[in-house]
């Protein structure tokens, strides 16, 4: 994509200019509430709100519960009991603490506004456009995450930061779980994985408070979760629109609805969850600018992510230079520079030209002769990444961490 378009996709131009000129990371790192939350709650799925600033709201149900479970020393036993709890309609195992059982039984209920028809449309969209979703909502979003200071540091200093391959696999479990038509119903796994992830978030909040490396307020606030949500939802939809992917209104609504349900099940309050794509775009333009910037932790994590992609594609002749170029293309120059992604004079212009043409060919908008040969290298890489991320999501388990990053 052109750089101007990518900037518009990620963050509003005015805010980006301010951040770039000042060389600062995130104004959201203030030590006290600023009271400048301007996104209207009337645009949420709840239709109204309390007026709270999501930077200073966490999970007031899960957080005290996890703190209590840690105090009682029962986390290892809870992990053992929940390890084989896999399907939405599966009863909880015997032996769980009563307060945890009560929490999960409540947390596993879909919101009253969940629409089965829209969820079904969203699932069909994942089937039809899965490659694009992987590129944007997994590869691109992963690269963006390392340019979000609080998210990069939370990953780096938590237990998952020490084994990024395992951490990525666990992160993408939901990407695997929400694809099937029964994702949120009997036999599916999305409810289970969302509830387990909500427990993990509460555990990370509890654990990182005791880390000498954690700078600032309690991590994974409601705004932090919204920022992550936008790097999956808004960023991916804007990207597909710019690539001219064919998307019907029913598919767009279904895709959004599945992501709304996922956000609710992860513990994002309904008053903060956008009800439409337009309200999502408006919220994204508020929360992304003030939460993006460079960190040494993000640079290290991003290098590891790019190394993983290059390792996956090397048998097909794709090397680190092409991965660097594609990562820069997906995130734009500002975020790429924050992430320490080197410029590739040979591959950067090739990727900018080849990828959109490949998408337009796949969408039936242009003929084969207009697709450059380099596009097929990207095509093979994306197929490899799609297979890896989705199969890895089926091969691992989400467990509650018992400590921070070793050392």
Q: What is the mean pLDDT of residues 114-122?
A: 97
Calculate the alpha carbon distances from 26 to 55, 60, 355, 390, 406 in Å.
12, 25, 31, 32, 27
pLDDT of residue 240: 97
Banded model confidence at residue 170, pLDDT cuts 50, 70, 90: confident
d(CA 407, CA 399): 21
Beta strands in 319-396 (DSSP E): none
pLDDT of residue 203: 98
CA 106 to centroid of chain Cα atoms: 24
Q: Are 344 and 323 in contact (CB under 8 A)?
A: no
Token output for 98: 């009563």
Whether the pLDDT of residue 6 is over 80: the answer is no
Q: Are 218 and 162 in contact (CB under 8 A)?
A: no
Token output for 394: 């089926």
pLDDT of residue 315: 58
CA 307 to centroid of chain Cα atoms: 20
pLDDT of residue 11: 42
pLDDT of residue 187: 93
pLDDT of residue 29: 35
Banded model confidence at residue 390, pLDDT cuts 50, 70, 90: low
Token output for 51: 């007026």
Q: Looking up tokens 């997994």, which residue turns up?
A: 138
Residue 147's φ and ψ, nearest 5 degrees, are -100, 15
Q: Are 142 and 305 in contact (CB under 8 A)?
A: yes
Q: Are 293 and 18 in contact (CB under 8 A)?
A: no
pLDDT of residue 285: 97
Q: Are 280 and 256 in contact (CB under 8 A)?
A: yes
pLDDT of residue 201: 97
Banded model confidence at residue 186, pLDDT cuts 50, 70, 90: very high
Burial label, 160 (beta-carbon count in 10 A; 0-12, 13-18, 19+): buried
**What whole-number percentage of the chain has pLDDT above 70?**
89
Mean pLDDT score across all residues of the chain: 88
Token output for 345: 């004079």
Q: CA neighbours within 13 Å on the CB side: how many for 255?
A: 26
Q: Are 384 and 312 in contact (CB under 8 A)?
A: yes
Q: Are 45 and 275 in contact (CB under 8 A)?
A: yes
d(CA 238, CA 136): 10
pLDDT tens for residues 83-103? 999 999 999 999 999 999 999
Residue, of 215 and 271, whose pLDDT is higher:
271
Banded model confidence at residue 109, pLDDT cuts 50, 70, 90: very high
H-run or E-run covering 81: helix 75-82
Burial label, 303 (beta-carbon count in 10 A; 0-12, 13-18, 19+): middle
pLDDT tens for residues 230-242? 999 999 999 999 9
Banded model confidence at residue 388, pLDDT cuts 50, 70, 90: confident
pLDDT of residue 374: 86
**What DSSP letter does each residue of 294-323 carry, written as one string?**
--HHHHHHHHHHHHHHHHHHGGGT--HHHH
């Amino acid at each position: 994509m052109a750089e101007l378009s990518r900037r518009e996709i990620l963050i509003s131009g005015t805010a980006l200019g301010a951040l770039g000129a000042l060389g600062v990371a995130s104004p959201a790192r203030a030590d006290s509430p600023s009271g400048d939350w301007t996104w209207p709650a009337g645009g949420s799925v709840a239709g109204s709100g309390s007026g709270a600033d999501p930077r200073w709201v966490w999970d007031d149900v899960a957080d005290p519960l996890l703190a209590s479970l840690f105090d009682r020393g029962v986390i290892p036993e809870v992990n053992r009991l929940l390890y084989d709890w896999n399907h939405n309609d599966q009863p909880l195992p015997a032996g769980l603490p009563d307060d945890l059982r009560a929490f999960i039984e409540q947390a596993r209920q879909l919101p009253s506004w969940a629409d089965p028809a829209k969820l079904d449309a969203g699932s069909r969209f994942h089937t039809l456009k899965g490659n694009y979703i992987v590129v944007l909502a997994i590869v691109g979003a992963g690269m963006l995450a390392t340019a979000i200071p609080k998210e990069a540091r939370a990953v780096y200093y938590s237990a998952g930061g020490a084994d990024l391959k395992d951490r990525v696999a666990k992160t993408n479990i939901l990407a695997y779980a929400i694809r099937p038509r029964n994702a949120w119903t009997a036999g599916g796994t999305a409810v289970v994985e969302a509830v387990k992830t909500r427990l993990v978030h509460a555990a990370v909040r509890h654990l990182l408070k005791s880390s000498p490396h954690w700078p600032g307020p309690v991590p994974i606030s409601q705004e932090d979760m919204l920022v992550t949500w936008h790097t999956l939802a808004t960023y991916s939809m804007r990207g597909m629109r710019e690539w001219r992917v064919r998307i019907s209104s029913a598919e767009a609504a279904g895709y959004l609805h599945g992501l709304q349900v996922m956000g609710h099940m992860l513990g994002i309050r309904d008053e903060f969850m956008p009800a439409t794509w337009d309200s999502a775009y408006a919220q994204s333009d508020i929360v992304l600018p003030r939460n993006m910037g460079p960190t040494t932790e993000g640079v290290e994590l991003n290098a590891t992510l790019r190394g993983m992609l290059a390792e996956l594609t090397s048998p097909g002749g794709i090397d680190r230079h092409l991965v660097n170029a594609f990562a820069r293309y997906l995130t734009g120059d500002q975020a790429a520079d924050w992430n320490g992604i080197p410029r590739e004079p040979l591959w950067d212009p090739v990727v900018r030209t080849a990828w959109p043409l490949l998408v337009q060919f796949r969408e039936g908008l242009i003929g084969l002769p207009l697709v450059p040969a380099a596009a097929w290298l990207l095509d093979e890489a994306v197929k490899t990444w799609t297979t890896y991320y989705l199969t890895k999501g089926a091969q691992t388990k989400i467990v509650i961490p018992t400590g921070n990053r070793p050392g």
